[in-house]
Amino acid sequence: MMMDVSLPQPVETVVTLAVVWIGLGVAGLAFVRAPRFITHFIFPCGALVALLLAITGLGAIGAPPSVAILPAGLPDLPFHVRVDALSGFFLMLLGGVAFGTSLFSTGYFRGMAPAALALLSLQYHVFLASMTVVLIADDAYLFMVAWEAMALASYFLVTTEHHEEQNRKAGFIYLVVAHIGALGILLCFGVLQGGRGDYTFDALRQAGLGDNWASLAFLLAFLGFGAKAGMLPLHVWLPEAHPAAPSPVSALMSGVMLKTAIYGLVRVVYDLIGNIRWEWGLLVLLVGSATALFGILFALAENDLKRLLAYSSVENIGIVLTGIGLSMVFIGSGQPVAGALGLIAALYHALNHAVYKGLLFLGAGAILKSTTLWNLNQMGGLIRYMPKTAVVFLVGVLAISALPPLNGFVSEWLTFQVSLQASQLSSSVVRSLVPIAAALLALTGALTGMCFVKVYGIAFLGQPRLSLAEAPREAGGWELAGMVWLTIGCVLLGIFPVFVIGELNAVCLSLIGSGLSAEALASGWLWLVPTAGTQASYSPLIFLLAIMVVFGVTFLGVRRLYRGRLRRAAPWDCGFPEQTLRMQDSADAFGQPIRQIFAPLYRIRRQVPRPDDAAPVFRQTVEDWHWYVLYRPIARLTTYLSDQVGKLQQGRISVYLLYSFVTLIALLVFVK
């Protein structure tokens, strides 16, 4: 006799997993005196929850939307939740990266003070749960509650080592920018609901705003979500917060939290507002191109490994915004197929960046834990001591440099393919701007390769530039497991892009009602054909096979023709037989040509030694001019206004009674 077994809906599963994450955090706080229980049970269980979430999200992409109303919230204002194709994709992204990060955390946080570890465990898992709720919220009320919970949890994680003033300052800057963004999002929802008092996303979809109100809602959403994503000029919190946060937290913030902002922007613009205009897309395209170029230029000028990776995240968010901008330009111009390809390229790059940037931040954490070094100028030769970390870090470096057949190449190549469709646009101005954006993207890609040649060459190759008390040690088993998981992701996402694009096409169909052309979808698993086979095609497997054949033939040829004829000799010393460690190329020297070429974009301060100095030292710092042009004037104005308002505080009760009396008279006169 067959029994009917009803499986839980995806939305029910996701809510359950979010609650389990919160429960794990509370359990870690309860077992404050058992740090081994936290590291060897709580974090692995959190990793298992992440894996289940990724599987659930992947299954939800091609399934009908799953909705529910939670028995929580305010009277007559319950929480609505929904899992559809878009949220399913980002849930998969969140779960996949969180799985590797939680495995890494199991070993990374070992040895931490018990009280600090228990508190961090609570904040870490609440952070994951709040991001999950952001992705499934189906009303503005729950979205904002989860958004603020995510911001506060990440703030406390950034200030984990709050005894250092620099970390407290970084946390404060992050919190201020986060709340500026939250205010923009809140006002956007206020515009979308149009005074009807219904904040469910279904009601917002049916609002039918006029052109002016829709444009205002878009601008507020772009400001609010852009602040969290780290777009120019609201990027200033990233290079401050990432060095302060523990490395697994930096991996989650850069890999996942920035993508919740991308999710929010796509959800509001494509789903809630709809009726996309090409003018909006042009703004996003220009800001994205500028953000990408600015981020990689400052990454090249950095020597702090985690600050460098933070600026690189700014660059990658710029690439994602470039794809979204191209998509909006084409959709607003009546070209939905090209617009769908732009959105697919943007979402694919968001996924790719989450995977390889998570891997690189975890690798940076392994280096920091093993050597206590953060400055590239002090590193060198780490491949001899950390060979396994060097291998997985190399995969991340190749992926972020967009080298085939790894994943970073596919999404950037797709973005270029979208820009090549500019001839379909009717506006001559836009047709001319799209190739310029593509050229900036190409320049950004070249500079990215140069940046990460610097990172890997300075850190892992050559000789150690600093004598350490203890030799660096290889990362532990749990840490390597987390990095290997993300390394596998870089490889699979690069070799099998057709399957990923098939899932992303379903996301596009649910959002804009259009997807890729029939020829692109019928190309098969071996060839990636984004538009038409006569225009462009790419097969990562054939590319990989060609590399292997060339390598194999070369290896066998050398072995067969030159076996036994090997002669060892000292390498050419370039006329300097007495080489020292200081003769190696430094991170500063590597980036010097770029600093010279793009000097107007930097704020460079140099301290040149004088001839009479006993120990002459040349110092050079590169600063972000946004602090001095934008943020410091605002800070000075705020301080001045606060001082003026402070003069009202006389400390005398008679003065305060006078204020109350004047206010009462004003109310009686002006309020009817």
| Interatomic CA distance for residues 484 and 63, integer angstroms | 30
Cis omega (within 30 of 0) for bond into 405: yes
Examine the pLDDT at 29 and tell me if it is beyond 80: yes
- 366 falls in which pLDDT band (50, 70, 90)? very high
Instruction: Annotate 78-108 with DSSP letters as a single string.
Output: EEEEEE-HHHHHHHHHHHHHHHHHHHHHHHH
Question: What residue ranges do the domains of the chain occupy?
Answer: 277-551+586-591, 630-670
Is there a contact between 228 and 243 (Cβ–Cβ < 8 Å)?
A: no
Q: CA 521 → CA 350, 416, 512, 534, distances in Å? A: 21, 19, 17, 15
Q: How many CB atoms lie within 10 A of CB 596?
A: 10
Residue type, 309: L
Is there a contact between 261 and 135 (Cβ–Cβ < 8 Å)?
A: no
Examine the pLDDT at 197 and tell me if it is beyond 90: no
Do the bridges between strand 77-83 and strand 66-74 make them parallel or antiparallel, or are there none, so unpaired? antiparallel
238-246 mean pLDDT: 89
- 375 falls in which pLDDT band (50, 70, 90)? confident
Is there a contact between 62 and 503 (Cβ–Cβ < 8 Å)?
A: yes
E-strand ranges in 184-277 read: none
Query: What pLDDT was estimated at residue 564?
Result: 64
Q: How many CB atoms lie within 10 A of CB 496?
A: 16
Gyration radius (Cα) of the chain, Å: 27
Between 581 and 485, the more confident residue is 485
- 7 falls in which pLDDT band (50, 70, 90)? low
Q: What is the mean pLDDT of the chain?
A: 88
Examine the pLDDT at 3 and tell me if it is beyond 60: no
pLDDT tens by residue, 522-538: 777 778 888 776 678 88
Residue with tokens 């609570």: 122
Query: What pLDDT was estimated at residue 645?
Result: 79
Three-state helix/strand/coil letters over 27-85: HHHHCCCCHHHHHHHHHHHHHHHHHHHHHHHHHHHCCCCEEEEEEEEECCEEEEEEECH
DSSP state, 621? E
Residue with tokens 């230029």: 297
Query: What pLDDT was estimated at residue 365?
Result: 94
Query: What pLDDT was estimated at residue 1?
Result: 41
Query: 604 by DSSP, 3-state: which?
Result: strand
- 322 falls in which pLDDT band (50, 70, 90)? very high
Query: What pLDDT was estimated at residue 579?
Result: 66
Query: 475 by DSSP, 3-state: which?
Result: coil
Examine the pLDDT at 5 and tell me if it is beyond 70: no
Query: What pLDDT was estimated at residue 672?
Result: 59
- 578 falls in which pLDDT band (50, 70, 90)? low
Q: On the CB side of 368, how many CA atoms lie within 13 Å of its CA?
A: 19
Of 14-28, 41-55, 87-101, 565-579, the range with the lowest mean pLDDT is 565-579
Examine the pLDDT at 574 and tell me if it is beyond 80: no
Query: What pLDDT was estimated at residue 150?
Result: 94
pLDDT tens by residue, 132-157: 999 999 999 999 999 999 999 999 99
Q: Length of the chain in residues, anyone? A: 672
Query: What pLDDT was estimated at residue 129?
Result: 96
Is there a contact between 278 and 427 (Cβ–Cβ < 8 Å)?
A: yes
Query: What pLDDT was estimated at residue 4?
Result: 45
pTM to 2 decimal places: 0.91
Examine the pLDDT at 630 and tell me if it is beyond 80: yes
Query: What pLDDT was estimated at residue 148?
Result: 94
Percentage of the residues of the chain whose pLDDT score is greater than 70:
95
Examine the pLDDT at 2 and tell me if it is beyond 50: no
- Which residues is 67 bridged to in the sheet? 82
pLDDT tens by residue, 270-318: 999 988 999 999 999 999 999 999 999 999 988 889 999 999 999 999 9
Of 372-381, 439-448, 603-612, the range with the lowest mean pLDDT is 603-612
Percentage of the residues of the chain whose pLDDT score is greater than 90:
53
Q: Which long-range contacts (CB under 8 A, 24 or more apart) does 151-157 make?
A: 151/175, 151/178, 151/179, 151/182, 153/123, 153/126, 153/127, 154/127, 154/178, 154/249, 154/253, 154/257, 156/119, 156/123, 157/120, 157/123, 157/124, 157/127, 157/245, 157/246, 157/249, 157/253
